[in-house]
Structure 1
Amino acid sequence: MADTRDTQNTQDCQESIIGARKADHIALCASGKVEFRQKGTLLDEVHLVHDALPERHVDSIDLGTTLLGHRLAAPVVVSGMTGGTPEAREINRDLARAAEALGLAFGLGSQRAMVLRPDTAATYAVRDVAPTALVLGNIGLVQARDMSSSAIRELVDAVGADALCVHLNPAMELIQPGGDRDFRGGLKVIERLVADLPVPVVIKETGCGISRSVARAVRAAGVTAIDVSGAGGTSWVGVETERARGPERLLGDELWDWGIPTGASVGLSADLGLEIIATGGLRSGSDVARALALGATAGGLAAPVLRARQEGGYEGALAFLRHIVAGVRALTFLAGCGSSAQLRSAPRVLGPTLRAWLEEAGRR
C-alpha cells in the first residue's frame, strides 16, 4: 500500500510541476522578455530583388501550398505553443479557429501532459473548431523513446492530428529544472515512429535550429519534413533560465543565445528534398517570404500570434494572421513572382553573415 501511495504522490508531483511549467511558458513567451539577446534569425540578410514591372494583378498571386499532403491557402503555420492547462485550452481553440478560417496549418504544444494526465486531453482538442485544418501533434523525443508506438498513436488519434512533430530540445533540457540529460537512441526512436505511425513524422527543434548533418540523418531515418525552429526569436533556453535557480540559471545565461539562426538552418537543408517549416523568430509576412526564398515550404509563427491573441482575443489573432498572409502576398508580388512557390528561384542577394553560415556549415 505504501508503494502505491508513493507512486501516486510522485505522479501527482510531476503533474503539478508540468502544469506550473506550462503556465510559466505562456506568461514568459507572451511577455517578450525571453527573446534572443544578440543573435538574430539572419532573415534580414535575405534581400529579394524588386520588380518594378510585375505585369500582373496582386490578387492573382497564388499562395496555395501543399504541406504534408494537405493544401493550405497560404504557406503559414501557427506553430505549436501550449497545452495542458485551462488557459492553454482557450489559446489553442482560438488560434486553431483562426487557422481554420484562413486555411493555414496549426500546431499543438507538447502533449506530454496528456501522457501523465489523460484528463488534460480537452486542452488540446481543436478538431471541432478546426475540422479541415492541417493539425500537427507534438511529443518530445525523450518521452517518445519511453513510450510504445501504439501509445503515441493514441495521442495522435486523441487530437485528430494529421502529422506528429517530434521535438528535439537538448539545450532547453540542460537548463530546465529536473530536465532530461540522457538523449541516447534518438535516431532509432525516429526510425520506429516513421515505420509504425500512420501519419507523417516531422522532426522539430525548439529554438536552436537543425544543422545539415542532423537533417541528413533524419532523412536517412525516413523523415520527409523538418521544422527548423532556429535561433533568433524566443529563446527556450532563456525561458528555462528565467525559471531556474543556482547553477542551471548561470549556465542558462551563458547559453541563452546558443543555436543556428533560422535563415541559416533553412538554407543549409534546402537541397535535401525535405519539406521545411521555417520557425524561430519569424515576425512578419516578409520574414515568411524570405524563408521561402531560402528554400522553406512554409513559415511558422508562435510568440507573435500568442501576443496578438492575448491582446485582442480571437479577433486579434485573426487580424494578425491576415496581416501575415498579406505580407507574403505583397513580397511575392513585388519580387515579380506569380506564386509564393516561385520565391525559391527569385533573384536575391544574401548578406555576409548568412553567406558565411551557408558556406562554412554547409561543408559539414
Structure 2
Amino acid sequence: MPDPSLPQLRRRLLAWYGRHHRQLPWRPTPQSQIPNSKSEIRTANPYHVLVSEAMLQQTQVATVIPYFDRFVEQFPTVHDLAAADEQQVLRLWQGLGYYRRARHLHAAARVIVDHHAGRVPDTLDELLALPGIGRYTGGAIASIAFGRRAPILDGNVARVLARLFAIDEPTDQPATRDRLWQLAEQVLPRKAVGDFNQAMMELGALVCTPRQPACLVCPLQTLCLAQLAGRQAELPRRSIRHAPKAVRHVIVAIERRGKYLFEQRPATGLWSNMWQMPTHESPDSDAPDSLLPWVRETYGLTCQSAGDQHEFTHQTTHRTIAFSLVRVQVAAGRLLPNRGVWRKLDALDDLPLSNPQRKAVTMLVGEKPTA
C-alpha cells in the first residue's frame, strides 16, 4: 500500500471505530466521541487495561467480560491484587483457562506495588519488564492506557494487515511476523493511538473475520489489496500445523463416607497449583481395577470399584486429552500425610479446579456438564 493511502486509512478506521465500537467494561470512550458525548465519558483505567489484556490473550471478548467484572470487584485496585493469595486469584480465574496468565498477572501486580508505588508503568520498556508482559500486551497497555505510540499485533491485527497488504507468506513464520510488526508501526498514527490499535482489533473481530469477512461493510475495502484482487478468502496463510498430541488421563474419584479426595497439582506444568481429584496421566490400561494398586501405593488407601466409568475429551493448544472418570470407594487404609484433603462435592468453592476437573465433579453429582 503506498504511503499516500495511510492518512485515508487512519481517518476511515477511526471514524468507523467511533460509530461501531463495542461498549466493554475496560474500554475508554473513543476520543472522537468526547467533544459532543451525551453519555458519561470513561477514561482509561491502566489497572483495568492490564487485567483485561491478560484475560484476552487467546480468549474471546464475550467469555472474558463476566470474569473481568468478578475479578475487579474482588480486586478493585492493583494493591488488592498484589495482597491476594494465589489461590484466591486462581479461584476467580477458574474456567478461563491458560492459568499461567493469572499467575503472571498476580506477580506483575506485586512488582507494580513493590517497585512502581502501585502505579502501572507508563512506558513500554517498563511494561515489558513486568512478569508475563510481552510485546503485544505491553504495546496494548502503553497505547490504550497512556497514549504511547506503540504498535500491537495480535491475531486480529495480523489478519487485517495480511489482507490490506496482500501478504502471501504464512503469518506464523518469524520473518512474516517481523514484517507485520513493521507494518503495524507504519500504519499507526501519531495521535489517538489507543483508539487506532483498538480499532484494528475491533475490525478484525467484527468485520475482517477469519472466514467470510464482511468486505461490503468494511471501511477499508477500497484500500485493501486482498479485497481488490478477490483474494480475501485465501489470506492470511498459515503454515501446516501438526496435529495435537493424543494423550489419556484417568481421574480417580476416591470416595470415603460421602467425601472425595482432592490434591494440589505441582507448582510447574499443566494446571500448576490447581486442585484435582487424583489423576493418573499415563495409565497402562483403561480398566478401573488396574488403578487400584496405584491408589494404594500413592495414597495408602485400599479401594474397590464403585460406579460406571465415564469418558470425555478436553482440547488444549497442543494436546487432545481423553479423560476417563472412575469412582472408587475406600475399603481400608489411612491417607498418607500431605496427600490431599477430603471434601464433599458441594464444598469446593475455595479450591480452584481446572475445566476437566470441574466437568468430572459435575458428572459425579449427576448433572449435565457444560461444554
Q: TM-score range by the shorter chain?
A: under 0.3
Q: Which has the higher helix share?
A: 1
- When normalised by structure 1's length, the TM-score is 0.26
Q: TM-score, normalised by structure 2?
A: 0.26
